[in-house]
Amino acid sequence: MKLSPRLVALSGAAAAGLVAAGTAVAVQAAPPSPTPDTAQARTLAASSASALVASRPGYLHASSDEAFVQQPVITSEGTQYVPYERTYRGLPVTGGDFVLATDSAGNLKYASVAQQRSIGSLATTPKLKATAAEKTARAQLKSVSTVEGTALVVYTLGSTPALAWETTLRGTDAEGPSRLTVDVDAVTGKVLRTQEHIVHGSGSGAWNGPVTLNTTLSGSTYSMRDPSVTNQSCQDAANNTTFSGPDDAWGNGTATNKETGCVDALFAAQTEHKMLSQWLGRNGANGSGGAWPIRVGLNDQNAYYDGTQVQIGKNTAGQWISSLDVVAHEIGHGIDDNTPGGISGNGTQEFVADTFGAATEWFANEPSTYDAPDFLVGEKINLVGSGPIRNMYNPATLGDPNCYSSSIPSTEVHAAAGPGNHWFYLLAMGSNPTNGQPTSSTCNGSTVTGLGIQKAMKIMYNAMLLKTSSSSYLKYRVWTLQAAKNLYPTGCTEFNTVKAAWNAVSVPAQTGEPTCSSTTPTPTTTTTPPSGTCSGQKLVNPGFESGNVSWTASSGVITNSSSQAAHGGSYKAWLDGYGSTHTDTLSQSVSIPAGCRATLSFYLHIDTAESGSTVYDRLTVKAGGSTLATYSNVNAAAGYVLKSFDVSSLAGTTATISFSGVEDSSLQTSFVVDDTALTLS
């Protein structure tokens, strides 16, 4: 029998009762240095964008008094996104942001610009005092606890540019906690805009049953803090203290218990982190390997994200609503906040967050006992005793509009999610799915064939990388069309499906929106294939969550044993660990298209009963017969470590990726592999 390292799992007793709303770069926390090609593409994009901005092209609507501040380059599926902020005579410009999208050679593919008119010559001396503006800002809330600050800005999101005082405050409004930014005209005293940073969720998803968590051991104390994701922890909202204890078994199986709520919450956050990495190539919720603490204990039938935390409330039965898509939805608000342009506006923010909740639920692929993949929001939690709170395939069943109209931007934000949720369902599943999901009628009587949830989410996320502060349904139509064109440049299937889905929910065509021609030429050279084939992840069952399928493995290697923690989910590949002479193997063959860059990555955890610097037990990693690396008992360390290798030399071949663990006659060493990927670019 294998010797058991400290387990990171829920105890059987707790499990029995568990049924408990920027910028990005690839790879999870503690990523390796980017490959030369990726680094070079970012450098070229930054340099090309700088030169382009310096020439002040007309679409930037720039006056001589404006300057531009380049933000970190974001890479996604071969496209480089270069966000910019703008200043006018040294003042920040609210609404002056833009994003330039380039290919890997630095050639401009698309410019997404919020500001649609020149500031011209604007006086920067206010007539209104800051204290008067702050008083006006305070009046927008029921009560104010803190004023974070007031600053002079130039506001360009209105019909004409204006000098404004911008104040951010915390307090309460009619819906509860609020963190509000208010722009007040510095000449007239008129409120130009209010921007709420607390984006409220509304309970969703099912509780998750027995789960495996990545937690932290410090001395002899365990805590519900992810060891590899900055700030990702679960805490008691009463005192903002991370749950901790002498063992690594959490919760008591009662949904009204806060620690049990935190089991669900941390599992959901870690599952979404894995989805972001594997499906979207995003490095954590905040884009740089981090997230936000989740706090269970809000005394309200609600949940929210406010820029610093996720607060989780309860349903009317007093059960904490920290299920998969509640937590994923709230973290989705954080992702929205940490992509270019900030939190989406004009009625789009809730549908944007709902797409992350749905994608995480489908990525987890839990059995029907828990939260089987679907497109209902709140179907298991029963937030206020009336069943689901949103329906993505037929919003009208719950009183939300299926179709877009000019009144949507001023509709209550949760109801305004209806057309966007309907669009996303049609894009992912279509109007007449064949996988058991329900049919979805369209607003124009059309038939839409879906692309699948992963491809739909990839298009949605890449549209968010084009987002500016002027976001709206009309802009999202344009951005998703451009995203489909960027992601799939050699054909029009994806582009046409995005367009058909928007038409099907009555979001109208926009002047100058992207077009796609089915006659796009395809390169014929064998060394440079169509770029659409040089994308995606090629290994099947990469996280082993489907069990012992798609891999060739020794008996017992692919396992959900709680004696070794998975990096994500429940399954992993556990080689050796017997403490006797033993060899375990794991392999999968994969075809790598000619001309593609290929990267093999995986997470590796090594623990051992050996001591000292002598090598006794070894793990050898090979690709196509060539040894990539050898690890041993000497490399043992707490937690998982990300390993990454360039295997582009295998392009044009079918190569076998293999792991071989060899253990000697005494003292165990366990080599645990999880979340593998062979990514093309």
Can you give the residue ranges of every domain in the chain?
36-113, 130-186, 536-680
Please indicate whether residue 673 or residue 207 has the higher confidence score (pLDDT). Answer: 673
- What residue type is 483 in one-letter code? A
Whole-number Cα distances in Å, 165 to 208, 414, 616: 46, 29, 67
In this prediction, residues 495-507 reach a mean pLDDT of: 97
Q: What was the pLDDT predicted at 2?
A: 39
Alpha helices in 338-452 (DSSP H): 349-364, 417-428
Cα distance between residue 479 and residue 490, in whole Å:
18
Q: How far apart are CA 305 and CA 181, in angstroms?
A: 15
- The residue among 81, 59, 62 whose CA lies nearest residue 72 is 81
Name 290's bridge partners.
Answer: 230
pLDDT band at 40, cuts 50/70/90? confident
User: pLDDT at residue 35 above 50?
Assistant: no
Token digits for 488?
């799939």
Do the Cβ atoms of 672 and 563 come closer than 8 Å?
no
pLDDT value of residue 342? 94
Which SS3 state, helix, strand or coil, does residue 409 take?
A: helix
Give which of 129, 169, 132 is closest to 148, Cα–Cα: 169
pLDDT band at 16 (very low <50, low <70, confident <90, very high): very low
**CB-based burial label for 194 (10 Å; 0-12, 13-18, 19+):** middle
Q: Which of 680, 671, 678 is nearest to 589 (CA)?
A: 678
pLDDT of the residue at 209:
64
Instruction: Kindly state the percentage of the chain with pLDDT values over 70.
Output: 90
The whole-number average pLDDT for the span 654-659 is 94
- Inform me whether the pLDDT recorded for 18 exceeds 80: no
How far is the C-alpha of 599 from the C-alpha of 645, rounded, in Å?
6
**36-113 and 536-680 share one fold:** no
**pLDDT at 8 (0 to 100):** 25
The bridge status of strand 108-113 relative to strand 98-102 is antiparallel
DSSP one-letter string for 599-647: EEEEEEEEEES--SS----EEEEEETTEEEEEEEGGG--SS-EEEEEE-
Q: What is the largest CA-CA distance in the chain?
A: 83
Q: Give the model confidence (pLDDT) of 390-437 as tens digits.
A: 999 999 999 999 999 999 999 999 999 999 999 999 999 999 999 899
Q: For residue 508, give the 3-state DSSP assignment.
A: coil
With beta carbons less than 8 A apart as the criterion, state whether 567 and 605 touch. yes
Question: Please, which pLDDT band fits residue 533 given cuts at 50, 70 and 90?
Answer: low
Check pLDDT > 80 for residue 10: no
Question: For position 206, what pLDDT does the model report?
Answer: 31
Predicted confidence (pLDDT) at residue 210 exceeds the cutoff of 90: no
Mean pLDDT of the chain: 86
| CATH class name, domain 36-113 | alpha beta
pLDDT grade for 603, boundaries at 50, 70 and 90: very high
Q: pTM of this prediction? A: 0.66
Q: Assess whether pLDDT exceeds 90 at residue 248.
A: no
Residue carrying structure tokens 């008992």: 633
Q: Compute the average pLDDT of residues 192-197.
A: 88
User: Closest Cα to residue 102, out of 82, 84, 85, 83?
Assistant: 82
Nearest to 152 by CA among 162, 164, 161, 138: 164
**What is the arithmetic mean of pLDDT over 251-274?**
90
Query: Are 109 and 78 within 8 A, CB to CB?
Result: no
Instruction: Give one DSSP letter per residue of 523-549, joined into a string.
Output: ---SSS--GGGS-EE--SSTT-TT-S-
- The domain covering 536-680 belongs, at the CATH homologous superfamily level, to Galactose-binding domain-like (2.60.120.260)
pLDDT of residue 484 exceeding 90: yes
pLDDT band at 527 (very low <50, low <70, confident <90, very high): very low
Distance CA(468)–CA(470), nearest Å, equals: 5
- pLDDT by residue (tens digit) across 341-383? 999 999 999 999 999 999 999 999 988 878 778 998 877 777 8
Residue 247 has a pLDDT of 86
Residues 283-299 have a mean pLDDT of 94
